[in-house]
Amino acid sequence: LARRLEPRAPRPDLRFGAMRTLADAGVSTRLFIMPILPRLTDHEANLRALMAAAREAGAGEAESNVLFLRSGTRETFMRFLAIEFPRLVPEYERLYRGSAYARPDYVREVEQRVRRLAAEAGLSARRRADRPDQSAPRQLSLVW
């Protein structure tokens, strides 16, 4: 599945290896589960395995976000889906009807699943939307 979704990205085992190296060096690490793809990567067994592997690799946190489909991305992704997973096209059309975001009830269900599984794995969890406000500059100004 990883190869079909991200054919040029490093394999998951290599990513977890990098995470372990960083964690062993004292760098705080976090598992990013983004985007969670409806009916492809949202299954409990998949998420549980990710959380366990991340915890084993030294992660302390998990951050997640369900796929959102902005204009441009939506058309490209739906073409990909029609080729690779045609049976899912009607489900995505139902979940994303007229919106870049999946139906709120589905998003809530996935967020609850992620929080529960993260807690079971010993990770803290947050949604992408829960990130601290990043609008304030984090670096001192060099203006005199």
- Give the pLDDT score at 15: 96
Residue where the block lists tokens 């609850």: 112
Helix (H, G, I), strand (E, B) or coil at 142: coil
131: left (phi over 0), alpha (psi -120 to 50) or beta: beta
Q: Does an H or E element contain 32, and which? A: strand 30-36
SS3 content of the chain, % helix, strand, coil (to 5): 50, 15, 35
Could you tell me how many residues make up the chain?
A: 144
| Averaged pLDDT in 10-residue chunks for the chain of 144 residues | 92 96 96 96 96 96 94 94 97 95 96 96 79 63 68
Predicted structure pTM score: 0.84
pLDDT at residue 125, rounded to an integer: 86
pLDDT recorded at residue 77: 96
CB within 8 Å of 124: residues ≥ 6 apart: 60, 61, 62, 118
Task: Provide the CB-side half-sphere exposure for 111 (13 A, CA).
Answer: 15
Angle, vertex CA 42, rays to CA 20 and CA 44, nearest 5: 75
Residue 134: its pLDDT value, please?
A: 58
